[in-house]
Amino acid sequence: MEFDVDRIRKDFPILATQMNGRQLVYLDSAATSQKPRQVINAVARHYRKLNANIHRGIYKLSEEATAEYVASKEAVARFIHAKSYRSIVYFRSTTEAINAVARAWGDANTGSGDRVLITEMEHHSNIVPWQMLAKRKGAHLDYVGLRDGSELDLEDYKSKLLLKPKIVAVTHVSNVLGTINDVKEITRMAHEAGASVLVDGAQSVPHMPVDVSGMDADFVAFSGHKMLGPSGIGVLYGKEDVLEGMEPFHGGGDMIRSVDFQESTWNELPWKFEAGTQNMEGAAGLAAAVRYLKRLGMESVREHEKKITLYALEALADEHVTAFGLGRDRIEERAGVISFDVKGVHAHDVAQVFDSEGIAIRSGHHCAMPLVTRVLGEPAVPRMSFYVYTKEQEIDSAIAAIRKAREVMKLSS
């Protein structure tokens, strides 16, 4: 099926919005994606027809709600090529999923003097939980450096693996640079060194084919709201044997098998990690998002984003702009994220000019302060990010906004 962006855009009601008197141009999908009517309708349908607590009632409505919830997990498992929905745990977000691993797995497997290895490319969500773990357990937190401020230094990675870390936590795609890391090879090397692996898939699972079984990572975390789904629902994939060996992160509600006055026993996978009433409407919306993306085809989604990213990089090259990350000749290793610097114009001023033109971009450190401030050497950077509904004319609008920003600052061309 042809990837028809104009047809796809008709599924997204918000794209018809006027912003500051202009047609909305949304270039902030790395922060959160927009939602198609299919997802909006799935959430509304849950409330209209299936709103009952799951796993608790023996009446028909509760049973149907439970079936919908389980079907959502099955759809997600198939989408990322997990072997079973038992490996799919729902949390609120990628952030909570990583925190759960740092607590439930990290506390049990990390002790004083042990090492945890992450990279200078990470989002705060894949830094702070490991900092907290290191402080709790007296462990050392090491970082893999970057080459040319664009890609992981694999020689540095090899040397850090010699220190025998307990776990390696790495982003699949940088939310600042757009760099796609070879997580399959990174995982292989980590396992050879005796380390477990967590992959932050927040910027990869929504945008390209991801096969968690082939990747072989022990954990992969990602969020629904970045892949056309609702906010408030995130996914932790874990190998079944690893999850079986972990203690729960939260206690209470549906995660129990039995409770006595002094102790409790836990439910089977994946329920033992899901305490309390779950985000049932979020699960319905996430399943609809997965169905939508599968219908488009993830290979086609990836090809579209490569095309848009290359178009944007080529357009930026003609302006007084520095685009961070790998160059146009390495588009296969880049995702649809471009952080950039307009010489002589502060990042926030760029974003304000964009906003005046009806264009939504993000400006700041993008929850990756060490990368932006220390590696890139910038206080803040503006960022454009793309998705299935982005079209070339929107990039043209962004380039015109960059020119306007320079005019406002009275910079010569």
Q: Give the tens place of pLDDT for each residue, 72-114.
A: 999 999 999 999 999 999 999 999 999 999 999 999 999 999 9
In angstroms, the Cα distances linking 247 to 72, 161, 201 are 24, 27, 23
Q: What is the pLDDT of residue 209?
A: 98
- Residue 155 in this model has a pLDDT that exceeds 70: yes
The pLDDT of residue 413: 52
pTM: 0.97
**What is the C-alpha separation between 47 and 26, in angstroms, rounded?**
29
Whether the Cβ atoms of residue 130 and residue 375 lie closer than 8 Å to each other: no
For range 332-350, the mean pLDDT: 96
- β-sheet bridge partners, residue 91: 234
Domains of the chain, earliest start first: 5-30+297-408 (3.90.1150.10), 41-294 (3.40.640.10)
Q: How confident is the model at residue 57 (pLDDT cuts 50, 70, 90)?
A: confident
293-307 tens-digit pLDDT: 999 999 999 999 999
Query: What is the mean predicted confidence (pLDDT) over 175-201?
Result: 98
pLDDT band for 412, please (50, 70, 90 cuts). Answer: low
Mean pLDDT of 310-335: 95
Residue whose C-alpha is closest to residue 123's, from 338, 371, 403: 371
Q: Would you say residue 316 has pLDDT above 80? A: yes
pLDDT at 320: 80
Taking residues 269-286, what's their average pLDDT?
96
Percent of the chain's residues with pLDDT above 70: 99
Residue 2 has pLDDT above 90, yes or no: no
Asked if residues 216 and 184 have their Cβ atoms less than 8 Å apart, the reply is: yes
pLDDT band at 319 (very low <50, low <70, confident <90, very high): confident
What is the C-alpha to C-alpha distance for residues 63 and 194, in angstroms, rounded to an integer? 43
> Mean per-residue pLDDT for 20-32?
97
Cβ atoms of 150 and 325 closer than 8 Å: yes
- Asked if the model's pLDDT at residue 1 lies above 80, the reply is no
- Percentage of the chain with pLDDT > 90? 95
> How far is it, in rounded angstroms, from Cα 137 to Cα 103?
11
Whole-angstrom distance, CA of residue 11 vs CA of residue 92:
25
User: Can you tell me the mean pLDDT for 1-23?
Assistant: 93
Question: 3-state DSSP call for residue 223?
Answer: strand
Catalogue the active-site residues.
Answer: 367
Is the model's pLDDT at 42 over the cut of 80?
yes
Q: Residue 233 pLDDT > 90, yes or no?
A: yes
Asked whether residue 64 carries a pLDDT value surpassing 70, the answer given is yes
**pLDDT of the residue at 411:** 65
**What is the structure's pLDDT at 287?**
98
Average per-residue pLDDT in the chain?
96
Alpha carbon of 108 to those of 137, 166, 395: distances in Å?
10, 11, 48
**Tens digit of pLDDT for each residue in 110-127?**
999 999 999 999 999 999
- Residue pair 315/395 in contact (Cβ under 8 Å)? The answer is yes
